[in-house]
Chains A and B, each alone.
Chain A
Amino acid sequence: MAVLPPKPECSKIFNQLNNYPDLKSELIALDGMTTETQEKGKYRANNTIEVQELGTGDDGMVEFESESIGKYYMIAHTHNSPADSTYSVFSWLDFYAIKALLILNKIKTSKFVFYLMTADETRYAMTINNKNKFLKFFATKLDDNFDMNINKKRVDERDKYYAPYDPEADPLIIEESNDNLQDLKYFLSFLQDNDLGLTLFEVDQNFNTFEKLTYNKQTDNVDHTGCN
């Protein structure tokens, strides 16, 4: 029987679940907190023994530590209730948090998994398959990998996909949406069209099954490729 080649991004997920016995139960517990009205979060880093809790700021959003952290292996957070005012996928702010942590050298990219559980009952895991691509897309003029054309594209893509707070501006991904599949298609289009160096997985509620997701524009379907 042929042995399938290892899938590096899947391996990041399963290596963590195998190496940290408490991780699965912690993620399941966090998944149960999406009904709360504030975000909740947990993390594991190279200088922590167990999964730790993240604090929540005054605005109800989870805050990621940077001072006391060595390097993050895993960050998980919720997008809280109510479901009609929260993103069912990762937010623009989530991308910038990852960018900031990468710039601060606070993420172990070869191990890192970024989990999201939402009040829309979606569960995703995201890994960084190419840090340089990700950082180039989010580079500012303070960064030496800044590219003016990519910068312009990023500004336009934010307007197209994420511009919030103006009901007449019509961004494609909105917090008020209850159509999780459509949100996912837009989100994957954004990742793929911009070659962001990220891999997205859908996770079952028991955190046993992980499926890599890609959007097929020809068929308008989200294709699932199992990790297990």
Chain B
Amino acid sequence: MKTYITILVIALGIISCKAQTIVNVNTYNQGDNSNKYFKDISGFYDPFLGTWEGNYNDVTFRVVLWKVEMRELSNETNSYKDVIKGKFFIVENAGLPDETIKCQSEQYYPQSDSTWWSVIHAVSCSGVRMTGAIWDNCTAQGIPPQTGDLIMTITNSGFTPLIAHWIIKKGSRIKGHDFTIPKDIMLTKVN
């Protein structure tokens, strides 16, 4: 009897932990999204991962991107997706002994008792263009964080160092509210 119960428990466990079908990340929203793992099978994310820098207004804009594998999709049933996450720094005297970070996206907020680790959430379905959402939480006092659509396009695929065109589109509709980080800049992959 004990053996039968054990087998039953194992069988139920297998059924409840139904495996996902592994599919390419660029097939999301093409049919039923449930029970799938939208994986970066083709390595589309790889060129974007790392540290990127560009200069504007006498400071350096530094972006760090990393991949999160098999992130659970909260709005689907038993589904997961590889995504690109990221953070940014606004740096004075980058690379010099007196390098100073003027602002960085990774900040702790006591009101929610949480740290904003990642302000970029993106995917790439081509290895050339990355699209997603970005938050700018370095805005001035009294102005809420700005959010917009991020498009990062590599302009010299296959070359070293990689260069990408960084564009933030459609920011705030509120007059006078804008991003502090650049909305149109060329970035070079430095690491």
Q: In the assembled complex, which residues on chain A have CB atoms less than 8 Å from the CB atom of B169?
A: 164-165
Count A-side interface residues using an 8 Å CB cutoff: 46
Q: How far is the CA of A103 from the CA of B26 in the complex (A)?
A: 36
User: Which residues B107-142 have CB closer than 8 A to chain A?
Assistant: 109, 111-112, 114-116, 121, 123, 125-126, 129, 131-133, 135, 137
Q: Separation in Å of the B13 CB from the closest CB of chain A?
A: 25
Q: What residues of chain A have their CB less than 8 Å away from a CB belonging to chain B?
A: 55, 57, 59, 61-67, 93-94, 96-97, 99-101, 103-104, 139-144, 146, 148-149, 152-153, 155-160, 163-166, 168-172, 193
Show 29 A/B contacts (Cβ-Cβ < 8 Å), sorted by A: A64-B173, A64-B174, A66-B175, A93-B172, A94-B173, A101-B174, A104-B144, A104-B174, A139-B112, A141-B109, A142-B109, A142-B145, A143-B112, A144-B111, A144-B112, A146-B109, A146-B112, A155-B133, A159-B28, A159-B121, A159-B123, A159-B132, A164-B149, A164-B170, A166-B123, A168-B126, A169-B29, A169-B131, A170-B30
Mark each residue of chain B from 151 to 184: 1 if its CB lies under 8 Å from any CB of chain A, else 0: 1000000000000000001101111110000000
Q: How far is the CA of A61 from the CA of B169 in the complex (A)?
A: 11
Of A59, A97, A163, which is within 8 A of B132 by CB?
A163
Of A100, A166, A172, which is within 8 A of B131 by CB?
A166
Q: Separation in Å of the B186 CB from the closest CB of chain A?
A: 18
Contact between A97 and B111 (Cβ–Cβ < 8 Å)? no
Q: What residues of chain B have their CB less than 8 Å away from a CB belonging to chain A?
A: 26, 28-30, 33, 73-76, 109, 111-112, 114-116, 121, 123, 125-126, 129, 131-133, 135, 137, 144-145, 147, 149, 151, 169-170, 172-177
